[in-house]
Amino acid sequence: MKKHITIFLILIMTLIMAGCSDTVETNNTTSSDLTSFTTIDLNGETVTEDIFADYDITMVNVWATWCGPCVNEFPALGELKRQLPENYNLITICTDGNRDSSNALNILSSNNADFTVLIPSEELENGFLSTVDAIPTTIFVDSNGNLVGSRQLGAPGFDEASIIDGYMELIENAYSELK
């Protein structure tokens, strides 16, 4: 019996640590950056790569409404957005936003998270998102949408304070690559 409990606990911990898998089919025209795209946000507004132009670094968090680890980091992401200096931005891409936009809006509202949430277009799904193996995944881009810094799989901490600190460190590291 002890052996079964141990195996069960190891399996649960592995699933928690791995995040949530969200495989996207790829094609031959894969773009791993965000230098050129057109999509909409949760409010139905058109968004292009110009969303990055006014910021030195933009943090892009990829998530889904059904992903527990994704939703669990939302209070920290909301607070992080409020703490960011003016030259940094935070946006997200909700991989199931086109199918579950009302739930995505509820998650934002209930976590006091005020940032732009993109709904993947076919262009994003076949391009950048095809390089995302699991969620939550966070990347950092410069003002032109070029990837900078390190890709973060999962949250960089276990509580709100350590998640905020971890993302701030990753943002600063990405910014240091621009100098």
Task: For 123-147, give the DSSP string.
Answer: HHHHTGGGG--EESEEEEE-TTS-E
Number of domains in the chain: 1
Tell whether 33 is covered by a domain.
yes
> What's the average model confidence in pLDDT over 62-73?
96
Instruction: Give the pLDDT confidence score for residue 1 in this predicted structure.
Output: 61
The proportion of the chain whose per-residue pLDDT surpasses 90, expressed as a percent, equals 80
Bridge partners of 138, per DSSP, are: 61, 152
Instruction: Give the pLDDT confidence score for residue 7 in this predicted structure.
Output: 46
> What's the average model confidence in pLDDT over 138-156?
96
Please, what sign has the CA dihedral across residues 123, 127, 131, 137? Answer: negative
Where residue 33 falls among pLDDT bands split at 50, 70, 90? confident
Instruction: Give the pLDDT confidence score for residue 22 in this predicted structure.
Output: 41
> What's the average model confidence in pLDDT over 30-54?
92
Contact 116, 81 (CB under 8 A): no
Read off the pLDDT of residues 100-134 as tens digits, 9 standing for 90 and up.
Answer: 899 999 999 999 999 999 999 999 999 999 999 99
Instruction: Give the pLDDT confidence score for residue 171 in this predicted structure.
Output: 97
Tell whether 76 is covered by a domain.
yes
In this predicted model, which residue has the larger pLDDT, 33 or 132?
132
Tell whether 1 is covered by a domain.
no
Place of tokens 């703490």: 83
Tell whether 90 is covered by a domain.
yes
Contact 137, 153 (CB under 8 A): yes
Tell whether 5 is covered by a domain.
no
Instruction: Give the pLDDT confidence score for residue 2 in this predicted structure.
Output: 61
Tell whether 7 is covered by a domain.
no
Tell whether 30 is covered by a domain.
yes
Tell whether 82 is covered by a domain.
yes
Read off the pLDDT of residues 79-101 as tens digits, 9 standing for 90 and up.
Answer: 999 999 999 999 999 999 999 89
Q: What is the CATH number of the domain that holds 101?
A: 3.40.30.10
> What's the average model confidence in pLDDT over 18-46?
69
Token pair for 2? 């002890």
User: Residue 112: which domain range?
Assistant: 21-176
Nearest to 70 by CA among 24, 103, 41, 29: 103
